[in-house]
């Protein structure tokens, strides 16, 4: 990987670390997931910074950001978009939904029903959506950060295995330690900090970094170890 790209990635982590205090390891996991071309699931209780992490990442990368609050009455069309008949053209015109973003935050994804949850499957795997027998490509890069509440909380629907498989990583943020919590209490509003963040990488640079990650060659012993882990978890 080019040294300038590596420095940009380090600067990216440093900037987000100013907003999400005391969670550098989790920030690095998030960035690694993005560089690997995967999607991220964050499972934790409300109020620990899940949404703030996604928003800060989008700002620092200059990505088009979209947030969807998943609720029990959210429909697939609310997420993907809908075709509307327009009299002026005497035809149906597709109006894209919030999934047509470069970074999509699916907030509290397990509060929506299974039908709406599964609407994300094609988008996450194929980077496209199909509506009314028409296929619409999604912008690149495309990264989904989904958050979910612990399953013991009321009003949640467990994610199906088919959807869990679309996430490269599942992490938790956890409560801040005492020092970080004091810094949050005495410091500036996180929303104000986000407004002052500066992009450290352009989307095109991010795609170059992702291509560099895909070009990394793994040694045979490492592949053997990975296969051992895979078979041990089946």
DSSP structure string for 11-39 = HHHHHHHHHSTT-HHHHHHHHHHHHTT--
pLDDT at 28 over 60: yes
Domain boundaries, the chain: 3-79+97-127+139-232
**Residues 150-170, mean pLDDT to the nearest whole number:** 78
pLDDT at 221 over 90: yes
pLDDT for residue 197: 84
Q: Which residue has the higher pLDDT, 157 or 73?
A: 73
pLDDT for residue 137: 92
Q: Which residue has the higher pLDDT, 192 or 212?
A: 212
pLDDT at 223 over 60: yes
**Phi and psi at residue 233, to the nearest 5°:** -100, 0
**Residues 159-180, mean pLDDT to the nearest whole number:** 85
pLDDT for residue 195: 81
Name the pTM for this structure.
Answer: 0.87
Return d(Cα 164, Cα 170) in angstroms, integer.
9
Nearest to 157 by CA among 169, 146, 143, 171: 146
Tens-place pLDDT, residues 180-203: 878 777 777 777 788 888 888 889
Nearest to 194 by CA among 9, 57, 102, 68: 57
Nearest to 165 by CA among 118, 130, 215: 118
pLDDT band at 102 (very low <50, low <70, confident <90, very high): very high
pLDDT band at 101 (very low <50, low <70, confident <90, very high): very high
CATH of 3-79+97-127+139-232, one of 2.60.40.10, 2.40.110.10, 3.40.630.10, 3.40.50.300: 3.40.50.300
Token readout for 116 is: 């709406």
Lowest mean pLDDT among 11-25, 80-94, 101-115, 186-200: 186-200
pLDDT band at 152 (very low <50, low <70, confident <90, very high): low
Helices 24-35/203-214 angle, 10° precision = 80
**Residues 208-228, mean pLDDT to the nearest whole number:** 92
pLDDT for residue 2: 67
């Amino acid at each position: 990987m080019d040294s300038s790209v590596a420095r940009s990635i380090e600067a990216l982590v440093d900037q987000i670390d100013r907003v999400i205090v005391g969670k550098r390891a989790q920030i690095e996991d998030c960035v690694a997931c993005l560089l690997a071309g995967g999607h991220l699931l964050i499972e934790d209780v409300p109020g620990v910074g899940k949404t703030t992490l996604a928003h800060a990442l989008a700002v620092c990368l200059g990505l088009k950001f979209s947030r969807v609050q998943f609720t029990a009455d959210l429909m697939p069309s609310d997420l993907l978009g809908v075709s509307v008949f327009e009299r002026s053209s005497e035809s149906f015109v597709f109006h894209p939904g919030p999934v047509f973003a470069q970074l999509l935050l699916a907030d509290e994804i397990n509060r929506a029903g299974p039908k709406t949850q599964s609407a994300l499957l094609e988008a996450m795997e194929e980077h496209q959506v199909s509506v009314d027998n028409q296929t619409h490509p999604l912008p690149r890069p495309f990264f989904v950060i989904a958050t979910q509440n612990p399953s013991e909380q009321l009003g949640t629907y467990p994610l199906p295995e088919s959807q869990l498989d679309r996430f490269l990583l599942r992490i938790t943020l956890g409560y801040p330690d005492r020092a970080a919590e004091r810094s949050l209490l005495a410091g500036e509003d996180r929303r104000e900090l986000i407004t002052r963040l500066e992009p450290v990488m352009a989307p095109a640079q991010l795609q170059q970094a992702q291509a560099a990650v895909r070009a990394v060659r793994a040694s045979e012993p490492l592949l053997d170890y990975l296969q051992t882990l895979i078979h041990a978890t089946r």
